Amino acid sequence: MIKRIYLIKYESNLEHVVVEKFKGSIMRSLALSMIQNYRDQDNSDQDSNIGNRNDDSTTVDMKLVSEDSDRLYQAGEAQRGTDEKPFIEIFTKRSFAHLSKLDSFYQNANPKGHSLVRAVELEFIGNVGSALLDILLYAKEPYRYWAECFNRALSHWGSKENDLTRLSITQHYQAANIKQAFLSCYNQSLVLKISKKTSGKYKKLILLLINV
């Protein structure tokens, strides 16, 4: 879907753009895998259910979770150097509910007691590490993920208006949960921060979207 929309809007092939944009083989592989849209789906990945990924009602193949946990450990912390391929494959193809279960399973099974977040931090740096951590955060705590996105968009003098506009339009239907997560993360109201960083009619429009 995203590739088709990109082609219509920009008259360019998104995969070709990614290849040109990312010269590093690891980041290129990660970006290409993400836009292929081959991720497994389950009912918790629907927008109305994303807050329930850790519930027992969500069916996840725990045998596969165990296998993935061992693959990631063997590809990372168990050896010197990092085999990036299993990380990219699992993080871009497994359902978000699966990744949420994998995070808790990994720490319990890991001989070193590290969380999956810590393992990623140890094995990856730069944009690749940041992207993997964002995927994991969205899998575990989707509302916190969106709260952090809003904070990044508002953390510059003025604001990153394009990012703020996109977030406000696409996430307005779950704004209540995001505002609660934002308050928990930053001890500050999202509405108040938007009010301080924007002005005029634009400010009124964004607040209208956020206060639905």
Per-residue pLDDT tens for 101-149? 999 999 999 988 899 999 999 999 888 999 999 999 999 999 999 999 9
Domain boundary among 140, 159, 192: 140
Inter-residue contact 139 to 100 (CB < 8 Å): yes
> CA-CA distance, 168 to 179, in Å (whole number)?
12
pLDDT of residue 165: 94
Query: Is the domain of 118 the same as that of 159?
Result: no
Structure confidence at residue 167 as a pLDDT band (50, 70, 90): very high
What is the separation, in whole angstroms, between the first and last Cα of the chain? 28
In whole angstroms, what is the distance from residue 171 CA to residue 66 CA? 33
Is there a single domain that holds both residue 114 and residue 164? Answer: no
Is residue 88 located within the same domain as residue 128? yes
Q: Is position 45 within any domain?
A: yes
Instruction: State percent of the chain over pLDDT 70.
Output: 89
What's the mean per-residue pLDDT of the chain? 88
> Span 208-212, mean pLDDT?
87
pTM as predicted: 0.84
Q: Is residue 2 in a domain?
A: no
How far apart CA 60 and CA 54 sit, in angstroms, is 10
One-letter amino acid of 4: R
Same domain, yes or no: 66 and 170 = no
Number of domains in the chain: 2
Q: Is residue 1 part of a domain?
A: no
Closest CA to 101 of 40, 150, 184, 178: 40
Query: How big is the CA angle at 164 (ends 195 and 124), to the nearest 5 degrees?
Result: 125
pLDDT of residue 70: 97
Domain span holding position 131: 8-140
Determine the Cα angle at 184 with ends 180 and 187, to 5°: 110
- pLDDT of res. 200: 94
- Residue 11: its pLDDT value, please? 83
User: Is residue 168 domain-shared with residue 118, that is, in the same domain?
Assistant: no
User: Which of 140, 157, 172 is the C-terminal boundary of a domain?
Assistant: 140
Q: Which of 140, 161, 195 is the last residue of a domain?
A: 140
